[in-house]
Amino acid sequence: MAHQAHAYHMVDPSPWPLTGAVAALLLTSGTAIWMHFNSMSLMSLGMILLLLTIYQWWRDIIREGTFQGHHTPPVQKGLRYGMILFITSEVFFFLGFFWAFYHSSLAPTPELGGCWPPTGITTLDPFEVPLLNTAVLLASGVTVTWAHHSIMEGQRKQAIQSLTLTILLGFYFTFLQGMEYYEAPFTIADGVYGSTFFVATGFHGLHVIIGSSFLAVCLLRQVQFHFTSKHHFGFEAAAWYWHFVDVVWLFLYISIYWWGS
Amino acid sequence: MTITNPHLSHEAVSHDSPCKRLSVCVCLIYKERVGFPEGEVLEEKDRLSEMEMSSATLAARRVLAAAASHGAEEAGAKTWKILTFVLAFPGVGVCMANAYMKMQAHGDHQPEFVPYSHLRIRTKKFPWGDGNHSLFHNGHTNALPDGYESSEH
């Protein structure tokens, strides 16, 4: 029995936007305090609050959409716009770091030796682990597409298999990058080369971890029968995000690893 | 009780906006697969035939159709499963073998230490440990500002 004469979702009052905002404040100020006054308390508190907010807010959205039926077609359309706009904002976020990289590398200063890579920097061979990383992410793009079609065709077991493979490939990438970070002959403190390299690839790695987590939640939901062949936007959003992460890596690989070596 | 409000039935809500074209183009690649009921999909198809499709979406459909020529249905799960095991995984395997062999060829190389002033910057201590080691510090390949640590080669 509908009590509303429209198809939109009037969301119930929720504390999570407030806890999320408080968490953001604690994290940012906490990190500054950690760096200057050697105390991790505020930052840790912020992290805990953020994790609690994330868990409970998205749990509520799943309840509203999957169990209470609030995600009608117009509502879903809005969610699609929202995800597209969010990913667009992330594109601009990475654009800034690419700007920084090209600013420094296209006109290397005399302090660096007037060349790129700067004097004294031993770069990573782009055709070793970085190339493997590229293959891993591209493969994960294929498996996530396999997963999508499996969901649409109602193939439950295949969907679970392909989604699991996608997540495993994501973990493999993260593991390989971690290894590369440890083995690299340069650090973040090695001038502008180190800064641009680790900040750009570091934020990318963070997004891989976020994307893998998003996919893992989708796997859990798929196992618990949340998705139907016609309605599975949570998975589509995760797949869009994963493709975005893949594309950012391709740009990183071409610019920093290959051209910049 | 009868619901007469079109928003609550499965008829498409008709609204044209500049964003519509973008969202349609994004959804076009998943044409029949968008989680909208059948009626709305038909509405979108009609509206599309009036609008020109972007060349990018036309190209994407051509690629999907080409890929589907191998499978019985249009670029279904079976096609992507085949691509996974025939293209994606062997590609990863080849790159794994290549990386492994290259690492064997010249592993363990420690770059020569030259105390350049533009590297190993320490204007501010790291907020962990003794403040002189980066987060992923590797004693073998990362020299400190004074040189390699004496405990490693």
Helix (H) / strand (E) containing B37: none
Pick from A7, A119, A232: which is nearest to B35 by CB? A232
Complex confidence, ipTM: 0.90
Segments making up each domain of chain A, as ranges: 1-70, 72-258
* pLDDT value at B17 more than 80: no
Question: Per the structure block, which two tokens stand in for B105?
Answer: 């060829």
* pLDDT value at B112 more than 50: yes
Pick from A84, A131, A188: which is nearest to B95 by CB? A131
The band of A186, judged by pLDDT with boundaries at 50, 70 and 90, is very high
Q: Which residues contact A154 (CB under 8 A, 6 or more apart)?
A: A229
User: Taking the model in full, what pTM does it have?
Assistant: 0.82
Q: Per-residue pLDDT tens for B115-149?
A: 999 999 999 999 999 999 999 999 999 999 999 99
Question: How many other CB atoms sit within 10 Å of the CB of residue A40?
Answer: 14
d(CA B104, CA B102): 5
The band of B48, judged by pLDDT with boundaries at 50, 70 and 90, is very low
Enter the DSSP assignment of B8. T
Per-window interface: A 199-258 vs B, CB < 8 A = 230-233, 236
Contact B36 A121 (CB under 8 A): no
Chain B residue nearest residue A149, CA to CA: B77
Question: How many other CB atoms sit within 10 Å of the CB of residue A32?
Answer: 12
B-chain residues within 8 Å CB-CB of A243? none
B-chain residues within 8 Å CB-CB of A187? 120, 134, 136-137, 142
d(CA A236, CA A231): 9
Chain B residue nearest residue A109, CA to CA: B118
Most A CBs within 10 A among B28, B41, B118, B149, hence the mutation to make, goes to B118
Q: What is the pLDDT of residue B40?
A: 45
User: What mean pLDDT comes out for the span B47-68?
Assistant: 53
Q: In DSSP terms, which residues pair with B144 in a beta bridge?
A: B147
- Highest-pLDDT range among A22-26, B55-59, B139-143: A22-26
Contact A84 B7 (CB under 8 A): no
Backbone angles phi, psi at B13, to 5 degrees: -80, 120
Helix (H, G, I), strand (E, B) or coil at B147: strand
Tell which residue, A7, A162, A53, A108, has the closest CA to residue B76. A162
Could you tell me if A73 lies within 8 Å of chain B, comparing CB atoms? yes
DSSP output for A168-210: HHHHHHHHHHHHHHHH-SS-TTSHHHHHHHHHHHHHHHHHHHH
Between residues A66 and B32, which one has the greater pLDDT?
A: A66
The band of B14, judged by pLDDT with boundaries at 50, 70 and 90, is very low
Sign of CA dihedral B90, B93, B97, B98: positive
* pLDDT value at B13 more than 50: no
* pLDDT value at A101 more than 90: yes
Q: What is the pLDDT of residue B33?
A: 45
d(CA A22, CA A10): 24
Domains A1-70 and A72-258 share a fold: no
Could you tell me if A9 lies within 8 Å of chain B, comparing CB atoms? no
Q: Per-residue pLDDT tens for A190-226?
A: 999 999 999 999 999 999 999 999 999 999 999 999 9
**Mean pLDDT for all residues in chain B:** 71
Most B CBs within 10 A among A4, A41, A187, hence the mutation to make, goes to A187
Chain A residue nearest residue B98, CA to CA: A128
Backbone angles phi, psi at B29, to 5 degrees: -65, -30
Lowest mean pLDDT among A122-136, A169-183, A229-243, B51-65: B51-65
Lowest mean pLDDT among A41-50, B8-17, B103-112, B113-122: B8-17
Query: Could you confirm whether domain A72-258 is CATH 1.20.120.80?
Result: yes
- Number of DSSP helices (H) and strands (E) in chain B, helices first: 5, 0
Contact B88 A162 (CB under 8 A): no
Contact A120 B134 (CB under 8 A): no
The band of B36, judged by pLDDT with boundaries at 50, 70 and 90, is very low
Pick from A80, A139, A152: which is nearest to B88 by CB? A139
Contact B37 A230 (CB under 8 A): yes
Q: What percent of chain A has pLDDT over 90?
A: 99
**CATH architecture assigned to A1-70:** Orthogonal Bundle (1.10)
